[in-house]
Chains A and B, each alone.
Chain A
Amino acid sequence: DAKTTQPPSMDCAEGRAANLPCNHSTISGNEYVYWYRQIHSQGPQYIIHGLKNNETNEMASLIITEDRKSSTLILPHATLRDTAVYYCIVRGLNYGGSQGNLIFGKGTKLSVKP
């Protein structure tokens, strides 16, 4: 599975955009990038995922570079409730081409401050 690299922690002011980077330089052509977040003592919450094109939904935007070696998750107007650990995961492919598992790294601890 392609490995991802994320900063261990970030701070963001409430109301500002939070931009969370992720490097995945070994990603292959058919591997998707998924983003989840986990608030303390809860299961991970799905945020967004994408392959090549930028994606946007009601929670966030995902910007994937043209070479696909990195991506950025954007929370447009961060609130205190967005404080969580954010995981960037590249979902690998099994032998035979089927999609593999989600393997979690250490993620980025985002702290949104008043």
Chain B
Amino acid sequence: GAVVSQHPSRVICKSGTSVKIECRSLDFQATTMFWYRQFPKKSLMLMATSNEGSKATYEQGVEKDKFLINHASLTLSTLTVTSAHPEDSSFYICSAEEDRAVGNTIYFGEGSWLTVV
């Protein structure tokens, strides 16, 4: 199946710094990508929908100035956690929608573990 790659898989950063996570669709074009976060033993929570060439749509309660999303090409979306704090430590997962007709398949990346110290 189609592959979505995230990088880095694990990152540790200091409080107050920013960290960028990349999400790439390796063998298909993705106009739409999605960003989720997941806390231990909890389900995935949708943070935002990223559309190529336009502003991301954030879910209620997600701070757009803190979680910057850029989707500059059909194969790359980035999530930047700005001024990170320990409570931002989480498992961040992206997904990409294969551009087809209705009934598209959405593939997920491997996830990125963020630890803020």
Contacts and interface: CB of A to CB of B under 8 A. Distances in A.
Contacts of A104: 36, 43-46
Interface of B is mostly: strand
A43 B43 contact: no
Interface bin, chain A:
20 to 34
A46 B110 contact: no
Contacts of B6: 43
Interface string B73-110: 00000000000000000010101000000111111111
Interface string A46-77: 10010100000000000000000000000000
A99 B36 CA distance: 18
Contacts of A103: 46
A99 B102 contact: yes
Nearest to A51: B103
A46 B104 contact: no
A41 B92 CA distance: 11
A43 B111 contact: yes
Interface string A1-43: 0000000000000000000000000000010101010100111
B1 interface: yes
A106 interface: yes
Given A43-B109, A43-B111, A99 B1 contact: no
B108 A41 contact: no
Contacts of B93: 43-44
Nearest to B103: A32
Contacts of A34: 106
Contact of A49 (B95, B105, B109): B105
A104 B108 CA distance: 13
A38 B44 CA distance: 10
A30 B103 CA distance: 9
Interface of A: 30, 32, 34, 36, 38, 41-46, 49, 51, 87, 99, 101-107
Closest 3 CB pairs of A and B: A43-B108, A104-B44, A43-B111
